[in-house]
Chain A
Amino acid sequence: MRATVDNVINGPVYADVPKPRFEPGPAGTHITIRGLTKYFAGWPLYENFDLDIPKQKIVSVFGPNGCGKSTLINMIAGLIPIDAGEILFDGKSLKDTKIGYVFQNYREAMFPWMRTIDNIAYPLKLEGRSKAEVDRRMEELVASFDVKFDLKRYPYELSGGQQQTASIMRALAPNPEVLFLDEPFSALDFEMTLFIREKLQEVFMKTGTTMLLVSHDLEEAVYLADQVLLLTKRPTRVAEILDYRDARPRTLETLSSASFVAMKKLSLEIFQREVRR
């Protein structure tokens, strides 16, 4: 009783800031981020950050070092807690959304105690699918990825590119609504990068899964993207969102086409402007 009286008489010393009204994004938005705030060691990394990520598009995230590209997708994927704000997938929370995530470091993302095939089937088993369903989905995946290596082997017996292919298959196995890719090519050689890039494009054209790609290679970022999201230095804001509309499937010819080169140049200009700022 006394506590309540005290509360009323001495009142709180801070003002109650009313929560801003939730503004939905434009039509075709998949992920809405509103008022996202994240502090690192007392310094704001993101402060009141708003973003709309379109549905059935590939968005490449690009920005200066330390601006929190990976942090951004990790917060959206729920791997890093956020200090304030709201992230909704088609109006649902993360809990009700099926997502897939591909890590840069495939070695520490796969489970070495399971055979590669069991690794890929693991998210399906978590969903409690029946053996027949799992088998059917695995066959589909193997066919669409045109797998040439033995999935009965353990992940550590495969090459880096094969392991990353397997971990992309694992991420795609449960047909996620959103696929997150955190620098998926950084630990791979050039040949494997080209191969996996083509596979991702194929999968995207077939399924239209919304993809969020973090990359430190501008060419890679633009090549796969429908939208290039350029970020500023911290505290991070959106520097620019560029739409890249070249038709798919994009090929190696695309890399030398005028529109691709122009898009890359523009992205680079904005990037450099932000780095120097």
Chain B
Amino acid sequence: MSSPSSAAPWAPPAAGAAASAPPRESHWVKALPFIGPVVLFIIWDLVVRFGLIKAILLPMPGDTLLTLVSGLAGGPLLGDFAVTVWRTLQAFLIAAIVGVPLGVLLGSNERAYRSVEFLIDFFRSTPSSALIPLFLMIFGVSDVNKVAIAAFGALLIVVFNSAYGVMNARKQRVMAAKVMGASRWQIFRDVLVWESLQPTFVGLRSAVSMALVIVIVAEMFIGSDSGLGHRIINSQQVMNVKDMYASILAAGALGYALNILFLVAERRIVHWSGR
């Protein structure tokens, strides 16, 4: 599958409208997203500089960023970062590989979905971290445990979104296929799967965020010797606040990057969404 932009240079009208605006205003508009972070950075700096918060609780922002950059550039932080990424990825892949087909199948058979709807909704509403003790009993204090519980939490989100994607497929598209003589299987393959793609992406995006949250929590509280969660709690124990904040920022950057990655992938693959 290729995106429309790769084949035909088609420019959305919005781009033209923005380009015709006066250039000075557009510079301003481009700078807008940076204002928030810069203001936060300045406030943080001032608060520490004037001793409103003790430096033992909150390090200088510059020091923190330096620790973050040097840690990620081959320092020990990099190892923990990589472990967390790997665990999140494993959990996400399990959730996606099992969840998307399962959701699409359940969605195309509404009776089947109704029969498990309560379970999905119930466990989707249950904070997955509340299930950590249960998973401890099943998997023990292991690496598998962390991946398993994150996969479980992410799975339900994927199943729910994919199933609803199929169930909420535009009825008229299904009718159009039907009137052209498509069989049930052809309608499923050529319409329902495609119609569910956009909600599926919404599900995958939420799922990867959920997987990251649970992996971090699990790394904090299920005997662990690696990962960002373990690093954050460890630095807190020994009051190494610079390292703690650097790890928190690393976790935040990871979550943000994953979200952007999925947004970009969604826009390329589900190129018709919102049109």
Residues in chain A within 8 A of chain B (CB atoms): 77-79, 98-101, 103, 105, 108-113, 122-123, 126-127, 150, 152-154, 156-157, 170, 174, 180
Contact = CB atoms under 8 A, between A and B. Distances in A.
Contacts of B176: 101, 103, 109-111
Contact of A111 (B4, B173, B178, B181): B173
Given A126-B186, A152-B7, 6 more contacts: A100-B179, A111-B190, A112-B275, A122-B180, A150-B8, A154-B271
B183 to A, nearest CB: 8
Contacts of B190: 111, 122
15 contacts: A78-B179, A79-B175, A79-B178, A98-B181, A101-B176, A105-B172, A108-B173, A111-B191, A113-B194, A113-B272, A126-B181, A126-B186, A150-B8, A153-B4, A154-B271
B267 to A, nearest CB: 14
B272 A112 contact: yes
A123 B180 CA distance: 6
Contacts of B8: 150, 152-153
B173 A109 contact: yes
Contacts of B10: 153, 157
Interface string B204-235: 00000000000000000000000000000000
B182 interface: yes
B114 interface: no
A174 B179 CA distance: 12
What is the interface residue range for chain B against chain A? 20 to 34
Contact of A154 (B173, B182, B272): B272
Contacts of B172: 103, 105, 108-109
A101 B179 contact: yes
A126 B182 contact: yes
Interface centre among B178, B180, B275, by most chain A C-beta atoms within 10 angstroms, is B180
A194 B182 CA distance: 32
Interface in B161-183: 170, 172-173, 175-176, 178-182
Given A101-B176, A112-B272, A122-B180, A154 B194 contact: no
A99 B179 contact: yes
Contacts of A108: 170, 172-173
A108 B275 CA distance: 11
Closest 7 CB pairs between A and B? A112-B272, A156-B275, A123-B180, A101-B179, A108-B172, A113-B194, A108-B170
Contact of B181 (A109, A123, A153, A180): A123
Contacts of B197: 113
Interface string B57-94: 00000000000000000000000000000000000000
Contacts of B191: 111
B275 A111 contact: no
Nearest to A108: B172
Contacts of B173: 108-109, 111
Contacts of A112: 272, 275
Contacts of B186: 126
Contacts of B170: 108
Interface centre among A77, A126, A127, A152, by most chain B C-beta atoms within 10 angstroms, is A126
